[in-house]
Structure 1
Amino acid sequence: MTPKWRKHWFRATAVVLIGGAVAYGILTGKPTPEPQVAPALAPPTVDVLVAQPSPQALSVETQGSVEPLREINLVSQVAGLVVGRAPAFEVGGFFQAEEALVQIEQADYEFAMARAESQVASARQVLAEERGRARQAQREWRDLGTDEANDLFLRKPQIAAAEASLRAAQADLSSARLNLSRTAISAPFNGRISEKMVDEGQYVAPGTVIARAYATDVAQVRLPLTDRQVTLLDLPLSYDNSGDQGQASQVPMVTLNAQFAGRLWTWKGRIVRTDASIDLNSRVVYAVAEVLRPFAKEEGSERPPLAPGLFVSATISGREIPDVVTLPRNALRTDGSVMVVDAQQRAQARPVDVLQSDGRQMWVTGISAGERVVVSDPTVAVAGAPVTVNANEVAGGAN
C-alpha cells in the first residue's frame, strides 16, 4: 500500500471510530425518565333531588268518539199505505217516547177488528146455548131417578168446544186490536231520527225498516286504555258470579273535551263499565263512559250537544296510589332505572316503576323517602363510583 492510500485509510477509520463513540455517548448518556403518578380525576358533580313520596291520584289521558247508548231500526209490523207522519219524522228530528212517528192506513185493520168482534159475540151465544142445554139435560136425567149420567148426554164436550171457540175468537179479536195499534209506529224512548227510509204515500210490508233512531237520554264514549293506564284506575269490572255489574269502590269520573265551531267545550261523565273482551289487534281495554242528557241545553251556555260522531279527548280520574315520587323526565336511564347517591357518596342504580310520564316529568314508585336521586345527566355517574353532590339539593315528591 502506498503512503497516500495509507493516509486516507487512517483518516476514514478515525472518522468512523469517533462517530461511533459520539453516537454511543448520546444513546447511553441521556438521563433515565422518572415515573410520575397520573393526577387523580375529580368525581363528577351531580344535581340530586331528595325523594319525598306521597299518595297521588294520577289522571289518564285517552280519546274516543261519541256513540248513542241505544240505536235501533224502526220496523213496520203490519202492511199498508203510509198515510201520515209526525213533524219530527225527519233526519235530525227529536221525538218523545211512544210518539206516533208514522201512521199506516187503518181501514183494513178496523174491518178485521169488526169481524173479530162479531165472531166473539157468536161464540158467546153458542156457549150460552150449550150451557142452557146442559142444565136442561141434567134436570131430565135427574127426573129419571139416577145420579149418574154420561158426559155426552150432559153436553160437557159441547160446552168445552164452545168455550174453546170463544177463546179462539177472543184471541182473534186481541190480534186484530194489536194489529190496529201497530199501524201507528213509535219508539220506546226519547230519541232522534238518524236516517229515514219511507215517506207519506209509500206502501210498506211487514218487516220494512222505516227509519233508524237513537236514544238521546244517554251518550257513551268507548275509551281505549293500555295496561299501564289500567293500573292507575279503579275500573268497574264484571264477574259471572255477581248479581250486578261489578262496581268499583268509586266510579271514576271523566272529563270530555271537544273542539266545535272553533271553541273548546267540556262535558262531565263517568266510567260505568268495560267492554266484554280485550281488543285482539291493539291489546287495549275499552272503558265505557256515559254522559247523561247529552242534548240538554244548559241555561246561559252556548255549549253544543254531545252528538254521535263527535271526536273527544278524555281525562279519567285515577285512584290514589301510595308512595309516588315526581322526578324530571331526564332522570330516567335507558335501562328503566335511576341513579341514587348513597351515604358513602357513591352512585347506585335503582330500578323504578314508571307509572306515568310526559315530556317534562315522570311519576314513579320504588324510591324510599330521603333518598337522593340524580336529576342531572345520569350517564355521567357510574354505578359504584364516587360522585360530588351539588350543594343545592332539591326536595321533591308531590306535584
Structure 2
Amino acid sequence: MKKFALPLAIVVAGVLTISVLVVAKPKPVPQPAPEAPANVQVNVVEIRPDTLQLAVTAQGTVTPRREISLVAQVSGQVVSVEDHFVDGGFFAADERLIQIDDRDYQAALLAASSRLAAAEQRLAEEEGLSRQARREWRDLGDDSANDLFMRKPQLAAAKANLAAAKADLEVAQLNLERTRISVPYPGRLKETQVDLGQYVSAGTTLATAYDSSVVEVRLPLTEQQAALIDLPFARSTAANQRPEVTVIGTVAGHTQRWQGKLVRTDAYVDRDTRMYYAVVEVPEPFAQQVPLLPGLFVEALIEGRALNNVVKLPRAALYKRDKLLSLNDDNAIVETPVNVLQKSEEYVWVQGDFVAGTQVTLEKQSLTPVGMIVDPQRPLPAEQNAEPAQLADTAAAVTAAEE
C-alpha cells in the first residue's frame, strides 16, 4: 500500500492544480476595432518663384596687369640714380629713374651730324654737276649720252650716302635718349639690381617694375558658376555690361573690400580641369585707403545675371542632391527634379518649373516615399524670397565665413 500511496498523491495534486487553473482563468473581454493609422506629420514650406541675381564667389591671387624688366640698351656707367629708385618705390610715367653716362653718345651724335652735313654737301654738288652735264649734252644736240657722262650713278650714290647719314644720326640720337632710363606708365619698382657708379653693358637687367594704375585677379570658375554670370566672351561687350565684382581680402589682420569689373576671359577652357578663367581688373589699387597689393590672396564676389523661376529654400529641402519632395492637392508626396544653382550652409537656390504656393517637405524624406499621403505641419512663411536680389545673402555668407 505504501508503494501506491505516493504516486496516487502526486496524481491527485496535479488534477487539483489543473482544475484550479481552469476555473480561475480570466474570460476574454471584447475590444473595439482598431482605427486607421495616422498620417506622417512633416514640416513644409511654401515656394514662391521669383527673378533673382545670384552672386558667385571665387578665389585668386592679385597680379599686376603689366610687369616688365628694365634692361639697358646701351653701355656705360650709372652716373645718376633718383631717390625713388629703390625696392617698392613709386614713379610717374616717363619719369627718369637712372642716368647712364652719355658723353660718348653726345660725341657720336656730333659726328653723325657732321657726316650728315658732308653728305648733304656732296649731294648738292652732284646735283649741280648733273645739271651742268645735261646742259652740255643738250648743246651738242645729241640725245644718246650715257649715264656715266650724265652723272646718274654719282647722283644715286650721293643720295644713298645722305640717307645713310640720316640713319646714323637717328641711331646716335636714339642711343643718347637710351641713356635716360624711364617707364612709359606710372608704376612701382619691385626690385632694383644696379646702383650709382656701377658699369652696365647693353642687355644688363636694371630693375623689375609693374604698372600701379591697375591690378587684376584671375578667377577659376566651374561650369555651374559660369552659367550664373554674363561672362564677356564677345569682343564687343560694352564696359557698362561687364559684371561688377567685389574683391575681399585681409590686410594686416583686417578684412578689406575693393571694387572692380570682370573685363575678359581666357582664350581657352583649361583642358585638364575644365575650368573657365575670368579676369577681374581693379583700377587705382594704391589710390585707396588700404592698397590692394599684388600677391595678396583674395576672394571675389561676382555679380550674377537675372534668372527666372528661382526659389530659395532651406537646405534641408534638397533631396538626393537635385530633387525636392513636394505635395499635390491630396497631400501626396511627389518627386520634383530641379536645377541646383547655388548652395550655402543654410540655404539652397534652385530653378525649375514651379507653381507658386506648392508645399515642399523639409524633413523625413527617407520615410515618405512617392505617393504617400502626409499631414503638412506648421507651414513656414516664404522667407526665401524676402530679398529682391541674392547679392546680400551671398555677401553675408562670405562675411560669416571670414569671421
TM-score (norm 2): 0.85
For the pair 1:329 / 2:315, whether they are aligned, the reply is yes
For the pair 1:351 / 2:347, whether they are aligned, the reply is no
Alignment equivalent of 2:374, drawn from 387, 393, 399: 387
Over residues 279-328 of structure 1, what are the superposed CA-to-partner deviations in whole Å (9 max), with x where a residue is unaligned? 3444322211111111114xxxxx22111112222111111100111111
Equivalence for 2:180: 184
Distance 1:50 1:249, change over 3 A: farther
> Does structure 1 conserve the Cα–Cα contact (< 8 Å) formed by 2:42 and 2:362?
yes
Q: CA deviation at 1:235?
A: 0.9
Q: CA deviation at 1:82?
A: 1.1
Tell me, in whole angstroms, the C-alpha distance in 2 between the residues paired with 1:90 and 1:335. 56
Equivalence for 1:74: 70
> Does structure 2 conserve the Cα–Cα contact (< 8 Å) formed by 1:253 and 1:271?
yes
Moved more, 34-43 or 124-133: 34-43
Distance 1:273 1:42, change over 3 A: same
> Does structure 1 conserve the Cα–Cα contact (< 8 Å) formed by 2:44 and 2:378?
no
Equivalence for 2:324: 338
> Does structure 2 conserve the Cα–Cα contact (< 8 Å) formed by 1:254 and 1:271?
yes
> Does structure 2 conserve the Cα–Cα contact (< 8 Å) formed by 1:103 and 1:183?
yes
Written as runs of structure 1 = structure 2, the 5 A alignment for 1:282-297 is 282-297=273-288
| Letter in structure 2 aligned against 1:201 | G
Q: CA deviation at 1:78?
A: 0.9
> Does structure 2 conserve the Cα–Cα contact (< 8 Å) formed by 1:257 and 1:265?
yes
Report SS of the residue matched to 2:138: helix
| Letter in structure 2 aligned against 1:44 | V
> Does structure 2 conserve the Cα–Cα contact (< 8 Å) formed by 1:338 and 1:378?
no
Tell me, in whole angstroms, the C-alpha distance in 2 between the residues paired with 1:31 and 1:207. 115
TM-score (norm 1): 0.86
Equivalence for 1:275: 266
Distance 1:82 1:393, change over 3 A: closer
Distance 1:191 1:280, change over 3 A: same
Larger Rg: 1
Tell me, in whole angstroms, the C-alpha distance in 2 between the residues paired with 1:351 and 1:138. 97
Moved more, 330-339 or 344-353: 330-339
| Letter in structure 2 aligned against 1:221 | V
Distance 1:91 1:154, change over 3 A: same
Alignment equivalent of 1:224, drawn from 220, 223, 233: 220
For the pair 1:316 / 2:302, whether they are aligned, the reply is yes
| Letter in structure 1 aligned against 2:303 | S
Tell me, in whole angstroms, the C-alpha distance in 1 between the residues paired with 2:127 and 2:327. 105
Alignment equivalent of 2:167, drawn from 165, 171, 174: 171
For the pair 1:45 / 2:41, whether they are aligned, the reply is yes
Over residues 339-396 of structure 1, what are the superposed CA-to-partner deviations in whole Å (9 max), with x where a residue is unaligned? 1111112111111111111111111112322211112332332210111122545335
Tell me, in whole angstroms, the C-alpha distance in 1 between the residues paired with 2:222 and 2:154. 73
Report SS of the residue matched to 1:390: strand
Give the unaligned 5+ runs of structure 1: 239-243, 298-302
Q: CA deviation at 1:34?
A: 11
| Letter in structure 1 aligned against 2:158 | A
For the pair 1:122 / 2:118, whether they are aligned, the reply is yes
Tell me, in whole angstroms, the C-alpha distance in 2 between the residues paired with 1:63 and 1:77. 40
Q: CA deviation at 1:146?
A: 2.7
Report SS of the residue matched to 1:47: strand
Figure out how many residues of one structure are paired with residues of the other and give that number. 377
Q: CA deviation at 1:182?
A: 0.6
Tell me, in whole angstroms, the C-alpha distance in 1 between the residues paired with 2:128 and 2:373. 116
Alignment equivalent of 2:137, drawn from 137, 141, 146: 141
Tell me, in whole angstroms, the C-alpha distance in 2 between the residues paired with 1:286 and 1:65. 13
Where in structure 1 do 4 or more consecutive aligned residues deviate above 4 Å? Answer: 30-39, 245-249
Tell me, in whole angstroms, the C-alpha distance in 2 between the residues paired with 1:275 and 1:78. 37
Tell me, in whole angstroms, the C-alpha distance in 1 between the residues paired with 2:378 and 2:339. 28
Over residues 8-56 of structure 1, what are the superposed CA-to-partner deviations in whole Å (9 max), with x where a residue is unaligned? 7xx99xx7xx99xx99xx9xxx999999976532110112212110000
| Letter in structure 2 aligned against 1:274 | T
The CA RMSD measured in Å over matched residues stands at: 2.9
Distance 1:393 1:129, change over 3 A: closer
Distance 1:333 1:37, change over 3 A: farther
Over residues 45-98 of structure 1, what are the superposed CA-to-partner deviations in whole Å (9 max), with x where a residue is unaligned? 112212110000011122222111111111111111111112221111111111
Q: CA deviation at 1:250?
A: 2.3
Equivalence for 1:365: 351
For the pair 1:54 / 2:54, whether they are aligned, the reply is no
| Letter in structure 1 aligned against 2:171 | S
Q: CA deviation at 1:248?
A: 8.5
Tell me, in whole angstroms, the C-alpha distance in 2 between the residues paired with 1:175 and 1:148. 43
Distance 1:183 1:249, change over 3 A: closer
Q: Identity over aligned residues, as a percent?
A: 45
Tell me, in whole angstroms, the C-alpha distance in 1 between the residues paired with 2:308 and 2:239. 18
Distance 1:55 1:125, change over 3 A: same
| Letter in structure 2 aligned against 1:283 | R
